[in-house]
A and B are shown apart, each in its own frame.
Chain A
């Protein structure tokens, strides 16, 4: 789902490029200590891996195929910060060398594929890991869930961006329904491959799986007198820095969305363009057409969106935010991860 040149207007492209630059800069700073220790070779090879894996197409049905985006996968394997860097690298290579995804749409593509999928995938994976039993096998399931959610989330963000800066008036509700239906299918494929890849890596080199840290059980030693000594399974970085590491990119992403939505809706109100056209022209006729999907909650978004296009943008963004918050809330409800209990 690489966005080409011309899909979004220039102001939206510039806004997303700015947001992406900020997000990638944050990710670079966050992974700098890691980059200094590990060196550039390993993330480079991980990028090459994502690049190679993205070329593997799997059938979605109806004669079409999707390919892995790899955001959740990379986040589970190498951690979110490095994953953002790696996926950005992949997108830059694809745009500059393979003409896949437009030069002016690079910022949009980085935002959608590198930032949103990685962050959503990471948050969902973390949340699922707190709920699932604490053993290595859970990581594959959690990463698969991350992959499942991350693809439709990116699709929703795209719908939001399109509602703000799309070149052709398409009813946002219809677009959201179509994109979601499509990308839920792709998400299922993504989930299967992500889970299988992670479990394959867990089986052979569990030390390489970043999300696995903290899922290994502590070693409990009982000596002859019955004294119990617990040796924590993970000695490196406790939960605190990791949690702090989540907050900033999330904030960046949210600010990003706000900037894009706010900035461009101002432009939209300046001169009547596609959006207002949609609002004006789409009367009751399309409501009847939408009734086929009216049973689903998405239809509510669509109908609510008919009156005010901004509401649809917000709905798309809220979809992502709600996903993130739900995962976070579930995690909090279950309680903190037991570190060295």
Chain B
């Protein structure tokens, strides 16, 4: 039986890679020397290196503690959501604030754009809104549209886009390990953080396993026709569950063997200084102020 070792902290290689990434980006910010024997990979392309979703560039947003970032970006999104429908000036101001954060994070534009594809269903819904909303109608290019739906749909589109942007910045500037440590710092219950840790660690593993199952099915010519395909997918998913569960049991056993006592240790993280909090909350505070002013004006 293949024994999977206890998960290693995903933070360590990330940290080393970040150093390498900063060095390759040509910023001489006193880069600490690489650990002796560490493999130095020279990047072929000029694109910044990545560790999962975390983009390894140096920026003020990257340097902020994860928990401050979670709070700040959620507050920023909340400020955007609080802007009343149709307050275009306020929405534009919030949009500028979010774009400022995106720019400050130094994430590549193309990468941000690619990660915004998740939003597609929302865009479709927003485009449908003028057709299904109630209220007075307007005639736009021969289409009978609801005015409220038009205004509301556009507002929704802007708000959802800005929300997605905030989330993309969070994922792009924070390593998964730091994010989990940040959640721990935000008093998310410890068992929840522990489960989250394993979920994050193994999501990619199981997704890869699912891909292998899919390839195996295709190779065997499995599933033409919708129903057959569904059956094949379902059988694959059943196998995936059993494999995942058994992997979990193996991981658990190996943890017990290595002295797991029932409590999961906290992920180490540094508290945020007052200055960092202030830095993190400047933009969200501005967004909230914009929303408050817009609400008062509406």
Contacts and interface: CB of A to CB of B under 8 A. Distances in A.
**Are A and B physically bound partners?**
yes
Interface of A: 4-7, 9-10, 13, 24-25, 28, 32, 35-36, 38-49, 51-53, 55-56, 58-59, 68, 77, 85-86, 88-90, 92-93, 95-100, 102-105, 167-171, 174-175, 178, 189, 192-193, 195-201, 203-205, 208, 274, 277-278, 281-282, 286
Given A10-B78, A103-B167, A197 B237 contact: yes
A43 B244 CA distance: 10
Contacts of A174: 132
B136 A47 contact: no
B206 A52 contact: yes
Contacts of A99: 115-116, 118-119, 164, 167-168, 171
A171 B115 CA distance: 33
Nearest to B153: A168
A204 to B, nearest CB: 5
Interface string B175-215: 01001000100000101101111111111011101100000
Main secondary structure of the interface of A (DSSP, over half): helix
A28 B78 CA distance: 27
Interface residues of B, number: 84
Interface of B: 53, 70, 73-74, 77-78, 80-82, 85, 115-116, 118-119, 122, 129, 132-136, 148-149, 152-153, 155-156, 158-160, 162-164, 166-168, 170-171, 176, 179, 183, 189, 191-192, 194-203, 205-207, 209-210, 226, 230-231, 233-235, 237-242, 244-249, 251-252, 255-256, 260, 262, 264
A42 B167 CA distance: 28
Contacts of B237: 53, 56, 68, 193, 196-197, 200
B134 A4 contact: no
B64 to A, nearest CB: 15
28 contacts: A5-B160, A5-B162, A5-B163, A6-B81, A7-B160, A9-B81, A13-B78, A24-B192, A32-B191, A36-B262, A44-B202, A45-B248, A52-B207, A52-B209, A86-B199, A89-B195, A92-B196, A93-B199, A97-B179, A98-B171, A99-B116, A104-B74, A168-B149, A168-B152, A168-B156, A170-B133, A200-B241, A277-B148
A59 B166 CA distance: 31
B176 A56 contact: no
Contact of A199 (B70, B85, B238): B238
Given A25-B189, A98-B118, 9 more contacts: A41-B198, A48-B244, A85-B192, A169-B149, A171-B132, A196-B238, A200-B238, A200-B241, A281-B135
Given A169-B134, A281-B136, A52 B191 contact: no
Contacts of B116: 99
A48 B199 contact: yes
Contacts, number: 271
Contacts of B133: 168-170
User: Interface centre among A4, A92, A103, by most B CB within 10 Å?
Assistant: A4
Given A48-B206, A51-B206, A97 B171 contact: yes
A43 B192 CA distance: 10
Main secondary structure of the interface of B (DSSP, over half): helix
Nearest to A31: B191
Nearest to B208: A52
Contacts of B252: 38-39, 41-42
A178 B50 CA distance: 41
User: Interface centre among A44, A93, A193, by most B CB within 10 Å?
Assistant: A44
Given A5-B162, A39-B260, A44 B197 contact: yes
B199 A90 contact: yes
Given A196-B231, A204-B238, A204-B242, A104 B77 contact: yes
Contacts of B205: 48
B291 to A, nearest CB: 9
B160 A6 contact: yes
B179 A40 contact: no
A89 B176 CA distance: 14
A176 to B, nearest CB: 12
Given A39-B255, A48-B198, A281 B134 contact: yes
A49 B244 contact: yes
A193 B233 contact: yes
B135 A102 contact: no
Contacts of B160: 4-7, 102
A86 B240 contact: no
B192 to A, nearest CB: 6
A103 B74 contact: yes
Nearest to A47: B199
- Sort A-B residue pairs by CB-CB distance and give the 7 closest, nearest first: A44-B198, A200-B238, A5-B163, A6-B159, A168-B152, A196-B234, A45-B248
Given A6-B81, A169-B152, A196-B235, A96 B167 contact: yes
A5 B134 contact: no
A289 to B, nearest CB: 10
A42 B249 contact: yes
A174 B246 CA distance: 46
A44 B148 contact: no
B155 to A, nearest CB: 7
Nearest to B83: A6
A47 B134 contact: no
Nearest to A24: B192
Contacts of B196: 44, 47, 89, 92-93
